[in-house]
Structure 1
């Protein structure tokens, strides 16, 4: 995001003192989570999906 906000910097690996950069603001907060009323019997519990998670990653983590 920092590189995209500063297209005037032609080489992001080469910045100098006194270069002025545009710093992006904080990302907007995520929408509220949809929480099921309860998990079916026999389930371990709940897991709130985090940014970057995939079903594959979650399945590996919890078996």
Structure 2
């Protein structure tokens, strides 16, 4: 279910969003914003996994496996 929201954008951000629409990559401001949010969520997820991996290495040390 979609929720409507009102956003205030700076002029440079508005121009960038409009350029994305003009390039035919997106058809609406909503598509641009939803794509940006999806990408931000992906980055957030990747960052959390990297932090967890770094913590594991810090706690357990490097684990090496040989396929010999």
Question: Fold match, TM over 0.5?
Answer: no
Q: 1 or 2 for the larger relative contact order (CA 8 Å, sep ≥6)?
A: 1
Instruction: Please give the range of the TM-score, normalised by the shorter of the 2 chains.
Output: under 0.3
- TM-score, normalised via structure 2 length: 0.22
As a proportion of its length, which structure holds more helix?
2
The normalised TM-score by structure 1 is 0.23
